[in-house]
Structure 1
Amino acid sequence: METRELTVVAGSFVVFQVLFSVASPLLSTAITPGYGRLPSTKLTEWNSRLVSTVHALIVGLFCLFILRFDDAVNADPVWGDPNLVKLNVAITCGYLIYDLVLLACNWSTMGDSFFVCHHLAALYAYGYVLTRGVLPYFANFRLISELSTPFVNQRWFFEALKYPRSHRLVVLNGMLMSLVFFLVRIAVMPSYWASVFATFGTQDFERLGLGAQVAWITSCIALDILNTVWMYKIARGCYKVMTGRGGRKSKEGTEAESISDKKHFNNHTD
């Protein structure tokens, strides 16, 4: 890994830590008085989710920029010039490390072995991009999924502030969350896998080596299976709210809530 990438990873970690410890409490207190009335465990999660939203917006929008304007990466998805992609991935790696530290420091209330494994696997996979500069198009394409994160976080913010589920802002956010989640995690699957299959058997694919091939393909399959399951739950919950069958005490009406209730659902990167 080059010095520039290491610097970005370290800088990203520090910036997100400052956002969590300093910027989020100050900003949240100024925006809503409800923040100060939350219990300490929810304050921690609130700050974490605000940082998650900032990361998602930065990385997601940067991802769209690269997909639209980085001709070198689009022309050669396996070995194209990875400079901009490395920057985007380095920001995400810094965030993942920050999130792992946050998990470790708050393990009794936020600890989850699944997400530790996920973050470590993501760091391993993105390590190939940072150290070897391979698969820039595919690594960047997966990050488009982060654009659904702000809506999932906003759903949690409304819940923490005790907005009724029938409130128009809650309903609107839920509909947008369902739509954006579908667009950036489900609808993109055919295009993504078409590009993947187009590389099979090529000389560029063989040059990757078995380690990179396995890390790339298996992680993508696992994540897309999870995305499909989550999409089903979100769509079902959205349908029940729209049809008036999503009462607060209804078990079925809260199926989609189980997703946003898990702190790190929205924090992972595909």
Structure 2
Amino acid sequence: MQTSVMAMKSYRFQAELFVRDYFLTDPFVPYTSVLCGIFMCKMAYDLTQLISSFYFKGYASLTKIQRIEWNNRGMSSAHAVFITTMSLYLVFFSDLFSDHREGLVTVRSSNLSTFVLGVSIGYFISDIAMIFWLYPLLGGMEYVFHHLLSLCGISYAMLAGEAQVYTYMLLISEATTPGVNLRWFLDTAGMKRTNAYLINGVLMFFAWLVARILLFVYLFYHIYLHYDQVEQMHTFGYLLTFVVPSVLAIMNLIWFSKILKGLKKQLAKRQ
């Protein structure tokens, strides 16, 4: 028994050394993190398929395309939970982007922050590959544009180490993704007339308002307060800091208006 415990501790120690000396070594972080992101997406996709086939009786009766989208949405929900948690931690709870630290907040990064961005890039690569593969069944041109814009901004922040604070603020908006996916799950499962569908719509409205409207107001306010630091960035990074949030904010407002219109229509039917 004691020998097995010692062996487990030894394996754990070796694994920690491997992660520290290889995966989190500066030159390898961008590459290994993207590969990890793609691998995690594959795992999430397969786990969604496995769990759904066991615990959701209607899964087998779905069409092939519906099952692919079902699994894809499980994958995107897993990424959303991961990236939202890490983004909230890095922006609001860690001291990486704190104003109390010395140096420009716009050029701060760490191995952890770079690694997490790489994982997110791995997700966007995986998802856009599936969108192109089945286009337009998994999403139209607006999804392609959204993903390409996200890939451009996240890749620059990861490789250049600039504007990571604003990249993570944008990624917090992924908090709305599980709610959007759950709405599709409920609709596909024939539960559109249930209370669960209505509650999901209400929660989605407030989540979108906070994570994709008010958060963007805070982001632009942060840029305003730190503009003297923003203008010291490279020209491409400076442009991305304004272009990416502005375009995404417009898209968020358009989608928010559709959510509000759908919620009003649903509430009217209940009266």
TM-score (normalised: structure 2)? 0.83
Q: Provide the C-alpha distance between the structure 2 equivalents of 1:96 and 1:208, rounded to a whole number of angstroms.
A: 25
Change over 3 Å in CA distance of 1:104–1:240 after alignment to 2: closer
Q: Provide the C-alpha distance between the structure 2 equivalents of 1:24 and 1:99, rounded to a whole number of angstroms.
A: 15
| 1:141 and 2:169 correspond | yes
Q: Provide the C-alpha distance between the structure 1 equivalents of 2:192 and 2:94, rounded to a whole number of angstroms.
A: 44
Residues 69-108 of structure 1: matches in 2 within 5 Å? 69-75=93-99, 76-107=104-135
Alignment-derived partner of residue 200 in structure 2: 173
The structural deviation recorded for 1:108 is 5.9
Q: Which has the larger radius of gyration?
A: 2
Alignment-derived partner of residue 252 in structure 1: none
What secondary structure sits across from 1:162 in the alignment?
coil
**Unmatched tracts of structure 1, length 5 or more:** 247-270
Q: Given the alignment, which residue of 254, 261, 269 partners 1:229?
A: 254
Change over 3 Å in CA distance of 1:238–1:108 after alignment to 2: closer
Q: Larger deviation: 150-159 or 117-126?
A: 117-126
Q: Provide the C-alpha distance between the structure 1 equivalents of 2:192 and 2:121, rounded to a whole number of angstroms.
A: 36
Indicate if the aligned counterparts of 1:66 and 1:84 stay in contact, CA closer than 8 A. no
Indicate if the aligned counterparts of 2:53 and 2:59 stay in contact, CA closer than 8 A. yes
What secondary structure sits across from 2:191 in the alignment?
coil
Give the letter for the 1:51 counterpart.
M
Q: Given the alignment, which residue of 60, 67, 70 partners 1:36?
A: 60
Query: C-alpha deviations, 1:212-250, integer Å up to 9, x for none?
Result: 11122111101001111111111121122223269xxxx
Aligned-pair identity in percent equals 24
Q: Provide the C-alpha distance between the structure 2 equivalents of 1:5 and 1:49, rounded to a whole number of angstroms.
A: 25
User: For this pair of structures, how many residues does the alignment match?
Assistant: 242
RMSD of equivalent CA atoms = 1.9
Alignment-derived partner of residue 188 in structure 1: 215
Q: Provide the C-alpha distance between the structure 2 equivalents of 1:133 and 1:37, rounded to a whole number of angstroms.
A: 47
Q: Provide the C-alpha distance between the structure 2 equivalents of 1:240 and 1:38, rounded to a whole number of angstroms.
A: 27
Q: Given the alignment, which residue of 16, 26, 31 partners 2:50?
A: 26
Give the letter for the 2:97 counterpart.
V
Query: C-alpha deviations, 1:134-175, integer Å up to 9, x for none?
Result: 11211111111011110100000011011132x111111111
**Unmatched tracts of structure 2, length 5 or more:** 1-25
Alignment-derived partner of residue 182 in structure 2: 154
Change over 3 Å in CA distance of 1:218–1:132 after alignment to 2: same
Change over 3 Å in CA distance of 1:106–1:208 after alignment to 2: same
The structural deviation recorded for 1:206 is 3.2
Q: Larger deviation: 81-90 or 33-42?
A: 81-90
The structural deviation recorded for 1:111 is 6.0
Alignment-derived partner of residue 206 in structure 1: 231
Indicate if the aligned counterparts of 2:156 and 2:162 stay in contact, CA closer than 8 A. yes
Alignment-derived partner of residue 74 in structure 2: 50
Q: Provide the C-alpha distance between the structure 2 equivalents of 1:176 and 1:110, rounded to a whole number of angstroms.
A: 24
Give the letter for the 1:79 counterpart.
V
Indicate if the aligned counterparts of 2:170 and 2:216 stay in contact, CA closer than 8 A. no
Indicate if the aligned counterparts of 2:157 and 2:164 stay in contact, CA closer than 8 A. yes
Alignment-derived partner of residue 14 in structure 1: 39
The structural deviation recorded for 1:109 is 3.2
